[in-house]
A and B are shown apart, each in its own frame.
Chain A
Amino acid sequence: MEQQYSDGFTRRRFLLTTLIAGGLSAMGKLPVRAETTSSITLPFKRGERPFVAFPEKRPLMVMTTRPPQLETPFPVFNEDVFTPNDAFFVRWHLANIPSAIDLQTFRLTIRGRVKQALSLSLKDLQEQFDPVEVAAVCQCAGNSRGFSDPRVAGGQWGHGAMGNAMWKGVRLRDLLEKAQLENDAQQIRFDGLDRPVADGTPDFLKSLSLDDASADHVLVAYEMNGEPLPFLNGFPLRLVVPGWYATYWVKMLNDIEVLNHEDHNFWTDPAYRIPDNACGCLEPGEKARQKIPISTMKVRSFITNIIDGATMNAKSQVLVKGIAFDQGYGIDRVLLSIDGGQHWKATRLGKDFGDYSFRQWETHVELKPGQSYQLQSLAINRIGESQQLEAKWNPNGYLRNAVEAIQVRTQS
């Protein structure tokens, strides 16, 4: 790890932060009381998830405890177009996460192929750069992996490894401009304060091309839904890359390195790669000829107000509502079927919070007594891309965007 720090200053900062973390946590802070209320079983084998309230969080579905991976219970997505901070999913790769951060000493460094290396406090970011806001969906690359068929190894998420928030921060481009890039700048690499436990584990780093990093809406965010970021979502700074899978949204961001070459660190190559074809998919057992880094999200939609397996009252006007999102072209329309995909009807779209946000939709359907229905939603974005009617498969369980189905029955 030490070689990542070209100057002693940054490395000392890390040491300081860690020591303060250890020191303060030992100074009489009470251990966390993780209360369990119940558990829920996702509809796949070994899908039982206890509800536990981690610090600053309401009880969420625990996939793993250390490093923490917490899933948002799906009914939360029916409450509001923005996912509350205390319900927002959590996913860390490395268990050595600081347990305290002191803003007096915290700095974001920008270094590498720059003419003017920077070391900025949170206050510097807030005072020296224009604040920018963007509503954007943050979704784990492996969201819904538990539904892969055949099953694959990795975090066995249901559909709740995603969330939509109003992010506020500074444009990454503005920071890079202030640092004055050298002419050979090619990729920008991001590092957070999380560190491996074992000596041999690669530190978690992600990189973007200079073009992708310079996009209007790529932010170094210090607020989420009007509040400082929750600790477990990356306090005090998080990279926000609207339209891209969450693996790029580096948490506890404290170091930005400008590279003059393509980054081949472990977490970009070979990790987080997808088959290099139009669907990013393979037949089970097939090997990819070539792989490329995962990048932007595929269009998805969900029904949020009806639970799979529900028994409902038959009515001529039953409200069905949900959410849709894509990589940032924006949602053009969402269709609903109640007969297993034979017929589709248009739905009304809700308020537009921007191209990267969840877009709510709703419609009414007639449900007759004593029937079984299969409800499905299908989103199409503004360039005509739609969800897959049947789930595609890849060995990492990435990119799922199948039309999901829920079954309901009506009382006779």
Chain B
Amino acid sequence: MLVKLTSFFLIIGILLGSLETEILAGEIGNSNRSITFPTDPFSFQPGPGQEIANSYCIICHSADYIYMQPPHSQERWTEIIKKMKDTFGCPIPDDSITHLAEYLMNQKDLQSATLYPINVPKPSSSLGAGTGNAIKGQSIYATHCINCHGVHGQGDGPIGKMLVPPAANLTVLGEKSDQELLTTIQDGRPGTAMPSWKGDLSAQDINHVLAYVRSLGTKLPKK
């Protein structure tokens, strides 16, 4: 813990210069309040268009946003998706909108009780490359990683681009082995703002995130 604290404050110190002393002197333990937000309970249901919903909708909100809606027509869903794109900045390509509207219109009622309980951490299992599920990983990514690494993993999230050094571009990791990446997610990366996630994510969740990160380079939007 001491090592972590030291490297953490080193980063803060580099970023904030003169504020360093004030922070180190402060009794953070007494004045800090924190919570841990639950991760998304479930992702979109199988069917044609699922991939689009799992790629774009859950950037900003969990899938239950859709399943609590009353049935809407395809036309209404199209309006809603266009609002998400034009007003809220959803990076969905135009040629996916019709397909997504059709998918959303056809969603069946979910028995939410069968989909919860959500995110009760699983007992630690072994880390292993190739055992993760990219769809599950995306939901975790959207909750924990996106602010630094960005919507498309290019290290351009709202926080990531302010960091020194900036957040890593995850679309160009071809040379790194799975084991190296797992270690970085698990233990953090000294000298950067990348924290250790092993306290927050189960080993299986970390595998899911790796699976998603490996898919990032192939998913950039067409400009």
Is the CB–CB distance between A198 and B91 below 8 Å? Answer: yes
Q: Contacts A16-B12, A32-B36, A49-B112: A22 and B151 contacting too (C-beta < 8 A)?
A: no
Query: For residue A196, which residues in chain B have a CB less than 8 angstroms away from its CB?
Result: 60, 88-89, 158
Does chain B have a CB within 8 A of A103? yes
Place the interface of chain B in its size category. Answer: 35 or more
Residue contact A102 to B28, C-beta cutoff 8 Å: yes
B87, B90, B188: the one contacting A266 at CB < 8 Å is: B87
Contacts of A16 in B (CB 8 A): 12, 15-16, 19, 23
**Chain B interface helix/strand/loop/mixed:** loop
Contact yes or no, B80 A29, CB < 8 A? no
State in angstroms the CA–CA spacing of A197 and B40 once bound together: 15
In the complex, per-residue mask of B73-108: 1 if CB is within 8 Å of any chain A CB, else 0: 000100010000001111100000000000000000
A64 touches B62 (CB 8 A): yes
Contact residues in A for B109 (Cβ distance below 8 Å): 45-46, 48
Q: Is the CB of A18 within 8 A of B195?
A: no
**Residue pair A200, B70 in contact (C-beta under 8 Å):** no
A131 interface hit (Cβ, 8 Å): no
Judge whether B8 and A23 touch: CB under 8 Å: yes
Q: Do B36 and A99 touch across chains, with their CB atoms under 8 A apart?
A: yes
Report, as a range, how many residues of chain A touch the other chain.
35 or more
Which residues of chain A are within 8 angstroms of B117 by Cβ–Cβ distance?
34-36, 52
A26 to B28, Cβ gap below 8 A? no
In the bound assembly, the distance between CA atoms of A180 and B16 in angstroms comes to 30
Bound: A62/B111 CA distance, A: 13
Query: Which A residues are within 8 Å of any B CB, using their own CB?
Result: 1, 12, 15-16, 18-36, 38-39, 44-46, 48-50, 52, 54-56, 62-68, 94-97, 99-105, 146, 151-153, 155-156, 195-202, 228, 231-232, 235-236, 266
Using a CB–CB distance below 8 Å, which chain B residues touch chain A? 1, 4-5, 8, 11-12, 15-16, 19, 22-23, 26-28, 31-41, 59-62, 64-65, 67-72, 76, 80, 87-91, 109-113, 115-121, 142-143, 146-148, 151, 158-159, 162, 188, 193, 195-197, 199-202
